[in-house]
Amino acid sequence: MSADGRQFPEGFFFGSATSSFQIEGRSPGIPQGDSIWDTFCAEPGRIEDATDGLTACDHVHRWSDDIALMASLGLSTYRFSISWPKVLPNGTGEINERGMAFYEQLVDGLLDAGITPMPTLYHWDLPQALQDAGGWTNRATAEAFADYAALMAERLGERVGTWVTLNEPYVSAVLGHITGEHAPGHADLGEGLAAAHHLLLGHGLAVTRLRDAAPHAEIGIVLNFTPAEPATDGPADAALARVRNGFDNEWYINPIRRGTYPADIVEALAWDQAEVHDGDLDVIASPIDLLGVNYYTRAVVSAVGQQLPFGTPRTEMDWEIHAPSLHRLLVWLHTEYDLPKIVITENGAAMPDQNRRDGRVHDVDRIHYLHDHVAAVLAAIDEGVPMAGYLAWSLMDNFEWAKGYAKRFGIVEVVPGTLERIPKSSALWFEQLARSGIIPPVTVLDGV
Ligand code: IFM
């Protein structure tokens, strides 16, 4: 049955998401510390188009217009991240007041525009000074993160109703420390496991500090999920899918909800758990009020390297487009982990954006993607999954990490050079959804 015309429940919210390093850029008026991504971008060969985050979308100067843009699109919630090195240039110590003022203004501006701010405390831009002391492989970074979280809640607590601790600890741990594709660019399994544990510990320590400093606020974490499905019914593919689900997905949600790492994967990795101190898992399993789910694609895994059929729909990231897996994921999370509330904190697609009409990117492919994924969320609601909201990734085209600026996820175009913002057709489609709570048909815009 088509989901067109179906309505989300009262109170379900729609909005968009970004992160500090990907959009802000720097301002001469705001002295700040370097982050690991500044260092990484400066290393030849790390970023595909050899770009960096020094200007990015210049949101640090255009934040007020960006808020007006969100308001014009009827978006009710904005998930952004705080740049740790903007507010604490060395990661610890005294607040950098000019950096803090930026976030105070941003939050006030959002509230004035009727948009709910949802700050994420860590979206990968670790202060370089902390990296110099070992970064996430050092337990002290988890403690520094909790101190930083408490400071932010003390300064913004009255104005923020929902705090997110970490964005995608899997990516920080695995791409940053095991595959080396992301900052700090290391390739060492032991480092990755230590980093993953300290990230989760930092989350757990921060939950307690946030509760103390902002008792009225909801607290959550954002995890990315890439459900692995076997390519065939054979046992080898099933075994590989189990490893991928255990290592990519359960490694984060299990300690948070059950206080344990998946035992079969711990054994398969021969992880000695030297970093895990008594009581750590209790800290990590501190109750949360919501889980943020980032979903983009599934992984179809094959022990003999079998590929998805030619012609399988994919995005510009080469990620398979598969909305049914989002529905299955949400039902699985609800069944297995009994979560109080789930928010889709990122979902979206990099697309070619070649098609223009009347000066606007006419991204029917992105509209189809969003349409099918919000329909999957509604189907999960039908089955009793406590879904509270959906945030599109991303508000605007931005710095896509090691891919640079070539991969565009925005529902709003950022014109290279001028950085002018122009809503794409998908933004107009999303506006209809956000304002009405009713899923518009894709065809409304197809023929425009
Ligand atoms: O751009 C990223 C974002 O920073 C984290 N989640 C995935 C997005 C797309 O790769």
CB-ligand 1 contact for 125 (6 Å cutoff): no
> 13-444 maps to which CATH number?
3.20.20.80
CA distance 327 to 312: 19
Report the separation in Å between the CA atom of 242 and the middle of ligand 1, taken as the mean of its atom positions: 24
**Amino acid residing at 392:** A
Of the candidates 127, 91, 96, the residue with the CA atom closest to the CA atom of residue 29: 96
- Which pLDDT value is given to residue 149? 98
The finding on whether 19 has its CB within 6 A of some atom of ligand 1 is yes
Closest ligand 1 atom number to CA of residue 317:
10
Residue nearest to atom 10 of ligand 1 (CA): 400
DSSP class per residue in 105-128: HHHHHHHHTT-EEEEEEESS--BH
Q: How far apart are the first and last CA of the chain?
A: 25
Q: Is 250 assigned a catalytic role?
A: no
DSSP string, 230-252: ESSSSHHHHHHHHHHIIIIIIHH
- Residue positions counted in the chain: 448
Atom of ligand 1 nearest to the CA of 350: 9
Name the catalytic one among 24, 168, 250, 275: 168
> What b-and-e string marks burial along 289-325, b requiring 16 or more CB atoms within 10 Å of the CB?
ebbbbbbbbbbbbbbeeeeeeeeeeebbeebbbbbeb
The ranges of the chain with pLDDT < 70 are 444-448
- 94 part of the active site: no
State the Cα–Cα distance between residues 386 and 369, nearest whole angstrom. 22
- Residue ranges per domain, the chain? 13-444
Cα-to-chain-centroid distance, residue 346: 5
What is the 394 CA–ligand 1 centroid distance (Å)?
A: 8
In b/e form, how buried is each residue of 114-133, taking b as 16+ CB within 10 angstroms? Answer: ebbbbbbbbbbbbbbbbbee
Question: What residues contact residue 72 under an 8 Å CB cut-off, 6+ apart?
Answer: none
Catalytic residue among 346, 400, 413, 431: 346
Confidence at residue 448, expressed as pLDDT on a 0 to 100 scale: 45
Q: Which residue's CA is minimally distant from atom 1 of ligand 1?
A: 400
Interatomic CA distance for residues 224 and 66, integer angstroms: 26
Strand partners, 389: 13, 343
Report residue 17 as tokens: 């998401």
Q: Tell me if 248 CB under 6 Å of ligand 1.
A: no
| Per-residue pLDDT tens digits for 191-232 | 999 999 999 999 999 999 999 999 999 999 999 999 999 999
The pLDDT score that the predictor gives to residue 444 is: 66
What is the tens place of the pLDDT at every residue in 339-395? 999 999 999 999 999 999 999 999 999 999 999 999 999 999 999 999 999 999 999
Protein residue with least CA distance to atom 4, ligand 1: 19
Going from the Cα of 169 to the center of ligand 1, the distance in angstroms, rounded, reads 12
